[in-house]
């Protein structure tokens, strides 16, 4: 691994690198960030480095003092190329005090979520897929007997009425009016379901993470760590959630944790991955053993329900798609059949 690769910055654009620390409460991580930046700048004499704090829980006076301390311990030519920014209530403050104009465009880009290693800009949402999943979720999860009107579908999916109408028009062969005046699936849309499975990777913008420490952490450990983050926009999926829904499932566990993150907008903040385990690194390799798979739920409604320990559980459809992706079609079909049977039994 080269020296450059070993530095892990949240932002890197041209000759500018940055570390972002949201809601900083202690100074030690700040020092750590500056050591990392100083080390990089020592080897890259034309580069600039910054640490950006968003809504820090540390006073400006303490930040000023810390900046003075850091400026004393690094070489002057490195201190001149290093900056500290505090972004609170929509305004920047910098140390040294005159650095905002020079780096403003980079800072704005960090806050916009683009071009950072921890935040991603998501592709356009596919509302046909979203609405199909919504109808399936309604059918398979035994959703409350609220009529699923076109208006409600639009609200749950997060799209306009014309988009809903266009999608429903494409699904008329599997739809019918429900007794309450809404819309429901009259039969299981097998063909569309197959297409959904095949396109799940793309429609869910799945990202996969591999353990790079050589000592992978258990899914139980990662779940416990997730519980400590108190994030209700992230839900447990995959085998863990499937077993929670359907304990009779012929599975004992999985070395991979599947998570769903609710991302109805265009951006998602992925900093929680490092908080779960700094050794988790994104992998594109098809054969690489994956410790964590992250799927994006793009609808306005997340369909998350309560899991144990204050955590959330992804919707049934997401969990089924996880099982297919994990190459567990027998178990997925078994569970699916059970769900369909229960629904018909009502």
Partner 1 sequence: MGDVTPQEVLQAAAAAIPADCVDKIIVIGSLAAGYHFFGESRAMQIRTKDVDCVLSPRVEAINVGKNIAESLLRAGWKPKFAGGMSGPGTAEIPAEQLPAIRLFPPGSTSWYIELLTVPETEHQRGREWTRVVLPMGHFGLPTFSFLSLTACQPHDTPYGIHYARPEMMALANLLEHPDIKPNEIGDVFEGRKIKRSNKDLGRVLAIARLSQDSDMQVWPRRWEEALRECFPTQCRQLRKAAGSGLRALIASEVDLEQAVWACNNGLLASRPVTMEQLEFTARRLLQDVLEPFEARQYVKK
- By CB under 8 A, name the binding residues for partner 1: 1, 3, 6, 25-26, 28-29, 31-32, 35-36, 38-39, 212-215, 217, 221, 274-275, 277-279
User: Measuring CA to CA, which residue among 135, 274, 302 is closest to residue 212?
Assistant: 274
**Shortest separation between residue 115's beta carbon and partner 1, angstroms:** 23
CA angle 96, 97, 98 (to 5 degrees): 100
- 35 or 288, CB closer to partner 1? 35
- 148 or 276, CB closer to partner 1? 276
Strands 16-22 and 11-13: antiparallel
- 1 or 89, CB closer to partner 1? 1
Tokens of 313: 């559980």
Tokens of 20: 């972002």
Q: Is 148 helix (H, G, I), strand (E, B) or coil?
A: coil
**Shortest separation between residue 19's beta carbon and partner 1, angstroms:** 13
**Shortest separation between residue 216's beta carbon and partner 1, angstroms:** 11
- 26 or 89, CB closer to partner 1? 26
- 180 or 289, CB closer to partner 1? 289
**Shortest separation between residue 74's beta carbon and partner 1, angstroms:** 12
Cβ atoms 251, 331 nearer than 8 A: yes
H/E element holding 274?
helix 272-276
Nearest-angstrom CA–CA distance, 21 and 212: 23
**Shortest separation between residue 38's beta carbon and partner 1, angstroms:** 8
What are the DSSP E strand ranges found in the chain?
11-13, 16-22, 48-54, 82-88, 91-95, 119-121, 175-177, 183-185, 207-211, 234-236, 257-262, 267-269, 280-283, 292-297, 305-306, 312-313
**Shortest separation between residue 217's beta carbon and partner 1, angstroms:** 6
Strands 280-283 and 175-177: unpaired
- 39 or 283, CB closer to partner 1? 39
- 99 or 217, CB closer to partner 1? 217
Cβ atoms 50, 85 nearer than 8 A: yes
**Shortest separation between residue 220's beta carbon and partner 1, angstroms:** 10
């Amino acid at each position: 691994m080269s020296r450059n690769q070993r530095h892990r910055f949240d932002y890197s654009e041209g000759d500018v690198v940055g570390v972002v620390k949201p809601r900083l409460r202690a100074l030690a991580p700040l020092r750590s960030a500056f050591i990392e930046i100083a080390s990089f700048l020592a080897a890259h004499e034309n580069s600039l480095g910054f640490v950006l704090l968003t809504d820090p829980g540390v006073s400006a006076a303490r930040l000023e003092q810390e900046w003075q301390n850091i400026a004393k311990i690094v070489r002057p030519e490195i201190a001149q190329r290093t900056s500290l920014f505090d972004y609170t209530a929509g305004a920047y403050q910098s140390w040294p005090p005159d650095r905002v104009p020079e780096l403003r465009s980079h800072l704005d880009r960090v806050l916009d979520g683009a071009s950072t290693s921890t935040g991603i800009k998501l592709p356009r949402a596919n509302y046909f897929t979203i609405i199909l999943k919504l109808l399936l979720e309604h059918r398979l999860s035994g959703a409350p007997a609220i009529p699923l009107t076109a208006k409600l579908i639009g609200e749950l999916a997060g799209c306009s009425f014309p988009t809903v109408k266009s999608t429903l028009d494409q699904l008329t062969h599997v739809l019918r009016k429900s007794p309450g005046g809404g819309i429901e699936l009259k039969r299981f849309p097998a063909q569309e379901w197959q297409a959904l499975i095949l396109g799940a990777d793309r429609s869910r913008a799945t990202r996969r993470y591999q353990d790079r420490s050589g000592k992978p952490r258990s899914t139980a450990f990662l779940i416990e760590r997730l519980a400590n983050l108190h994030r209700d926009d992230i839900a447990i999926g995959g085998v863990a959630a499937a077993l929670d829904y359907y304990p009779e499932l012929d599975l004992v566990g999985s070395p991979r944790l599947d998570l769903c993150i609710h991302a109805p907008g265009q951006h998602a903040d992925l900093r929680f991955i490092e908080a779960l385990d700094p050794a988790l690194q994104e992998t594109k390799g098809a054969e690489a053993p994956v410790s964590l798979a992250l799927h994006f739920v793009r609808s306005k409604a997340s369909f998350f329900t309560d899991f144990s320990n204050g955590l959330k559980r992804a919707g049934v459809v997401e969990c089924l798609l996880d099982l297919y992706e994990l190459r567990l079609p027998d178990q997925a079909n078994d569970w699916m059949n059970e769900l369909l049977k229960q629904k018909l039994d009502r």
